[in-house]
Amino acid sequence: MIKKLQIKRSMLVVVGALLGVPILIYTIFFIYIAFFFDMCRVDNLGETPSPDGRVSVVIYSVDCGATTGFNTRATFAPANRKFDPDGSKQFLYVRGQHDFHVRWIDAATVEITAADAAAAFGEGNIVQRENSMNGVVISYR
């Protein structure tokens, strides 16, 4: 009776190891990939510096793979540094791919236009749209 119980325990340990080790390896691999590799790609579509050269409007998109839709975003970034999407706050985020054009009126006013403005700035596509940020007034057409 004791021998049968020991055999059952041994079988349980072997089966547990055979199932547990692959699950543990997969979990460690997933955590490693998720924390040490950025799974999203940022495409810088263009930068337009302000007249005083202090900041630039950066138009960009973020692609996180097949599970996310296309998007177009805009932010202000220091003109003398490389654009870092993690270090800047976007003022425009719309669904879909759009060709935005940036025109500075002066150092405190910028205009964002799109050839497909009705689609780009339509209520169903806008995720975020600010009218001013960092002391700059933003208009859309």
- For residue 33, the enclosing domain spans 1-37
Are 134 and 113 found together in one domain? Answer: yes
pTM: 0.72
Q: Are residues 21 and 50 in the same domain?
A: no
Q: Is 129 exposed, middle or buried (0-12, 13-18, 19+ CB in 10 A)?
A: middle
Instruction: Round to whole Å and give the CA distance between 62 and 70.
Output: 8
Does residue 62 sit in the same domain as residue 17?
Answer: no
Looking at the fold, whether 131 and 80 belong to one and the same domain comes out as yes
pLDDT of residue 91: 97
The per-residue pLDDT for 50 is 97
pLDDT per residue, tens digit, the chain (141 aa), is 677 777 777 777 777 778 777 787 777 766 666 666 667 889 999 999 999 999 999 999 998 887 788 899 999 999 888 888 888 899 999 999 999 999 999 999 999 999 899 889 988 999 999 999 999 999 999
Provide the domain count of the chain: 2
Residues 73 and 117 in one domain: yes
27 and 46, same domain (yes or no)? no
Q: Clarify whether residues 11 and 67 are in a common domain.
A: no
